[in-house]
Amino acid sequence: MYCIQQIRKFIFLSLGIAFVLSSNGQTVSAYPTNWFVQMKTNKVQILFRTTIGDFSKATVQTNYRGIAIKGLHHFENPHYLSVDVEIAANTKLGNVNFVINSKGQAINKTWPLLPRRVGRGTAFAQGINAADLIYFLMPDRFSNGDPSNDRIVGLKDQALNRDSIFIRHGGDLKGVTNHLNYFEKLGVTTLWMTPVVENDMPDRTEHGYAATDNYAIEKRLGGEQAYLTLSDSLHKRGMKLIQDIVYNHFGRFHFLVQDAPAKDWVHQWPSFTQTHYREQAIFDPHHAKVDEEKMINGWFTTEMPDVNQENPFVEKYLTQNAIWSVETFGIDAFRVDTYKYCNLDMMNRLNQALIDEYPKIFTYGECWVDGVAAQAYFVRNNFNLPFKSNLHATSDFHLLFSGILPALNDQNTWAGGVMKLYSTLSEDYLYKVPQNNVIFLDNHDMTRIHSSLGESIPKTKMAYAWLMTCRGIPQMYYGSEVLMKGISNPDGWVRLDFPGGWAGDQKNAFTEQGMTDQEKDFLHYVQLLGTYRKTSSALTKGEMMQYLPEDGLYVYFRYDNAQTVLCVMNTDSKERKLNFEKYSERTNGFKGGKDIVSGMKMGNQFSIPAMTMQVIELTK
């Protein structure tokens, strides 16, 4: 039996040798770079690549006990060869030697079989649920824990300038690991970061969404070892890790674009054709096929070629990479970028492959769409339609744009203002599990919440009180808890550095040095809400009941058999009175409550000031 230290050493060494190995003067890479013993997914398709050889008529063999070669595939590009292998249940870990016979030359390629992560003693693939609180950050803009990796020789982008909103700033995974205590003080249970895989592009590499190697962790973030350290550190604290993954497109300098196995690995057009971004072309019963094709197969930009997910080899590559990522780095859940632009049938199969291997795994997609019905189409829903998605949940964009933002910014009318929030939530009947949706106030693509609310602290406090108490899985965006501002025109202004993440920063949110009294107060407010939520059964596991808003007063309850929490949002310009009798369906048997922020005891009648939200745990 391998001890943990031996396993870690084996993993690091295997990651190091699996990318490139030379034999007889020829360099060969394998994707996936390795696999694991005792996996349910024991039929693996290995893509071998050489940059100087010719695999057009190559054959492959191995004498490794338990490894059976089931198929061999050649491509129009002679640099590639695909081999289907089946790994028997009793196969032992070790280095599998494949002999590739090409034009009279025998090339030896080592392919490691590693022990499963389950032997390392930490939980993983746990999924997420409404008991979690997600903290979302951009590693390059959060904290620089290791300045030595700010620039890496050989990578195309050598820019480094914190004064530019579009250039790398030097944040990394060690910087994130250094500040796990900060997350815990916020009540955070789960970390989500923008993609951490290699982005060897000429510029705009700070965001991570243009992968150039799905099996390599970005060296400027610290590489594989830093990612493993972060994952292990989170799990040892009982926290979780979400990986941001992109199936829809590659970066233009991805080797599968620059040196593709075949032309049909990315969608080809006579000339550059961009998606029109309108998801209606997918489900509209009257849609034209050309509109659907352009929506799904059109490119995002010239720098992000659209992956052809209809190609079975591409599907296998993406699916195996997702499973490999979970097993290698201990991923608990996936956030899928640009989900609505993917081939949805392929995504159903990929999602199911993950679930078959990891029954608790959770996947939610970025579905920035128009309307609750459109949003529900892409996830597990109650529609009786030919297409049925198996995606667990979505990022709830519609609840943000047609719910909380108009509730706090717009005038209260018959159908406007806070009524929009009530109405949007009333359409939860379309989802199978609405509490799985990830709710949020801002992210890296949109104006920060404090700026969206006109830099009104009372409104921003209301927004966070709602975020921590509404149904769903709440997600915070880094720095907004200390009133960071920014308008997303362009997006770099909402991706500024977290204060205190770099040596010499005059303002430090980790220590509160140099922060204003308002910033400190707001941070403490969010910490209080987050830590209360973490231990509240009603907020993390309970049901929700909402009442029709009246004169800008919106009341809803979160409750279970052990606890009832009253949430009162006054969006009016005047003070409003509240009486328990009006809400007897939920308040019956309760005499009052305790305001969780102020600690003040409340009776069964009280007034709530204008533009204020109170969260009250009821008492009998």
pLDDT tier at 512 (50, 70, 90 boundaries)? very high
Output the pLDDT for position 4. Answer: 44
pLDDT tier at 104 (50, 70, 90 boundaries)? confident
More confident of the two residues 103 and 47: 47
Q: Please check the confidence at residue 335 and state whether its pLDDT lies above 50.
A: yes
* Active-site residue identified among 366, 497, 505, 519: 366
Residues 549 and 527 both lie in one domain: no
Kindly state whether residue 125 falls inside one of the protein's structural domains: no
Residue 103's CATH number: 2.60.40.10
The pLDDT of 213-230, averaged and rounded, is 98
The pLDDT of 544-562, averaged and rounded, is 98
Output the pLDDT for position 591. Answer: 96
Kindly state whether residue 557 falls inside one of the protein's structural domains: yes
Write the pLDDT tens digit of every residue in 78-91. 999 999 999 999 99
Q: Are residues 575 and 607 in contact, defined by beta-carbon separation less than 8 angstroms?
A: yes
The region of weakest confidence among 7-11, 431-435, 497-501 is 7-11
Q: How many domains does the chain have?
A: 3
Q: Please check the confidence at residue 23 and state whether its pLDDT lies above 50.
A: no
Interatomic CA distance for residues 177 and 171, integer angstroms = 11
Kindly state whether residue 127 falls inside one of the protein's structural domains: no
pTM for the model stands at 0.96
Residue 89 CA, chain-centre distance (Å), reads 32
Output the pLDDT for position 117. Answer: 87
Catalytic residue list contains 203: no
The count of other CB atoms within 10 Å of the CB of residue 607 is: 9
* Active-site residue identified among 224, 337, 428, 617: 337
Interatomic CA distance for residues 39 and 599, integer angstroms = 51
Interatomic CA distance for residues 370 and 364, integer angstroms = 17
CA angle 336–339–344, rounded 5-degree value:
120
The pLDDT of 483-506, averaged and rounded, is 97
Residues 561 and 482 both lie in one domain: no
Output the pLDDT for position 24. Answer: 54
Q: Are residues 93 and 102 in contact, defined by beta-carbon separation less than 8 angstroms?
A: no
Residues 42 and 162 both lie in one domain: no
Q: What letter represents residue 318's amino acid?
A: L
Tokens of 285: 């019963």
Write the pLDDT tens digit of every residue in 343-390. 999 999 999 999 999 999 999 999 999 999 999 999 999 999 999 999
Task: Give the residue ranges of DSSP H helices in 30-179.
Answer: 139-142, 173-177
Question: What 8-state DSSP symbol labels residue 53?
Answer: S
Q: Please check the confidence at residue 121 and state whether its pLDDT lies above 80.
A: no
Kindly state whether residue 581 falls inside one of the protein's structural domains: yes
Write the pLDDT tens digit of every residue in 387-439. 999 999 999 999 999 999 999 999 999 999 999 999 999 999 999 999 999 99
Residue 220's CATH number: 3.20.20.80
The count of other CB atoms within 10 Å of the CB of residue 84 is: 15
CA angle 170–447–230, rounded 5-degree value:
35
Q: Please check the confidence at residue 19 and state whether its pLDDT lies above 80.
A: no
Q: What is the helix (H) or strand (E) element at residue 425, kind and residue range?
A: helix 418-426
pLDDT tier at 246 (50, 70, 90 boundaries)? very high
Domain that holds residue 597: 545-619
Interatomic CA distance for residues 282 and 291, integer angstroms = 8
Interatomic CA distance for residues 473 and 467, integer angstroms = 9
**DSSP helix/strand/coil, 111:** strand
Phi then psi for residue 557, to 5 deg, are -125, 145
Rg (CA), the chain: 26
Kindly state whether residue 344 falls inside one of the protein's structural domains: yes
Sheet holding 564-570, edge to edge: 543-546, 553-559, 564-570, 612-619, 592-595, 601-602
Residues 363 and 493 both lie in one domain: yes
Interatomic CA distance for residues 173 and 180, integer angstroms = 11
CA separation (Å) from 121 to 51, 124, 132, 521? 39, 10, 22, 39
Residues 534 and 551 both lie in one domain: no
Residues 6+ apart with CB under 8 A from 312: none
Q: Please check the confidence at residue 8 and state whether its pLDDT lies above 60.
A: no
Residues 6+ apart with CB under 8 A from 396: 375, 437, 438, 439, 440, 472
Residues 330 and 376 both lie in one domain: yes
Catalytic residue list contains 303: no
Q: What letter represents residue 540's amino acid?
A: T
Residues 6+ apart with CB under 8 A from 618: 564, 565, 566, 587, 590, 592, 593
- Percent of the chain at pLDDT > 90 equals 94
Residues 167 and 275 both lie in one domain: yes
